[in-house]
Amino acid sequence: MATITYDKATRRYAGTERPAVDALELEIADGEFLVLVGPSGSGKSTALRMLAGLEDIDDGAVWIGDRDVTHLPPRSRDIAMVFQNYALYPHMTVAQNMGFALKIAGRPASEIKQKVLDAAKLLDIEQYLDRKPKALSGGQRQRVAMGRAIVREPQVFLMDEPLSNLDAKLRVSTRTQIAALQRRLGVTTVYVTHDQVEAMTMGDRVAVLSDGLLQQCDTPRALYDRPANVFVAGFIGSPAMNLVSAKLTADGAEVGGVGGVRVPLTPAVRSAADGDTVTLGFRPESLEVTTDSAGTLPIKVELVEELGSDAYVYGKLGAGVEETAEGSSRNVVARVDPRTPPGMGDTLHLRIRPDELHVFSGTSGQRLS
């Protein structure tokens, strides 16, 4: 097993204005399951490929354990990678696919057979060892690709969106299997996904990237409860956090201009603000429906999403609410009682629970509270 260190690692592509990965500094502990997450083009797959040796590193360094692997070829890094498309040889059986790397390394046939069988038992694919990939489902092929990585007993597992080709139900079951398997094996794992729900349910820690920059790296709970900036706040969580621009007042902030809804803020938060506006963040479950219109956020219901155990309403705040801050909007999502959801066109009065309010700078987007 091994630790992983990105030491201001940078990757630039010719003809682009900004680096694909910009001075990434990240420490991954021995045996940790770290997820790299972000939208398309954020640099997460590039960062993984830099670690694997499939992308050059223009500045900085990458370490695996106590070895600087920045300029080592992939075969010398003691890593195993699981790709998005599984990359199985179609003319080989499952057993041959899983044992191919060991065969190339010159391991004895008896050792290869035993390692393949052990991995197949671990992944519950013993019955498929004599089949070829075309006779397997997507989920079964994914487990074969996992098995091929496991038999090598590497220091590090790298996984590049391995579940993206599976249907929604199979993704849920497979992600729990991968997370449980990693904890059983204890191998340091770096996992790339664009699905923030996948990231939150699988990782020991989650690193959020945007435009090649690391925005925040922390436990899933810390990312959810204390996002470092507006981007993380709007990206982590499903549905996403509500973000609304508000003007600072003597004792707090006002949503909707003069005569709008006043939200009290602590003196420390007001003094930390670097302009005359802030961005208020509040999650759908942080809103309470009330019959009292005083000091509440009124929204007109445009859509009701009933999910059985939960229900969400989507609507817009009243006219005059500004959208100048990055990521802020007049759109609001609130979680409501699924047994008595409101109807389309209804007006709801919503109160933000004070201890669940997030405040961000209106200019930099950084967290103030």
The CATH number that applies at residue 73 is: 3.40.50.300
**How far, in Å, CA of 225 to CA of 121, rounded?**
39
What total of structural domains would you count in the chain?
Answer: 2
Please check whether residues 139 and 262 belong to one and the same domain: no
Please check whether residues 109 and 159 belong to one and the same domain: yes
Please check whether residues 270 and 213 belong to one and the same domain: no
Is there a domain that residue 366 lies in? no
* Domain around 64: 4-230
> To the nearest 5 percent, what fractions of the chain are helix, strand and coil?
30, 30, 40
- 151, 120 in Cβ contact below 8 A? no
According to DSSP H, which parts of 191-321 are helical?
Answer: 196-202, 220-225, 230-235, 267-272
pLDDT in tens, the chain (369 residues): 699 999 999 999 998 989 999 999 999 999 999 999 999 999 999 999 999 999 999 999 999 999 999 999 999 999 999 988 888 999 999 999 999 989 998 999 999 999 999 999 988 899 999 999 999 988 889 889 989 999 988 999 999 998 888 888 888 888 888 898 899 889 999 999 999 889 999 999 999 999 999 999 999 999 999 999 999 999 999 899 999 988 888 888 888 654 567 888 888 888 888 888 899 999 999 999 988 777 788 888 999 999 988 999 999 886 444 444 555 567 899 999 999 889 888 889 898 988 899 999 988 999 997
| pTM score | 0.89
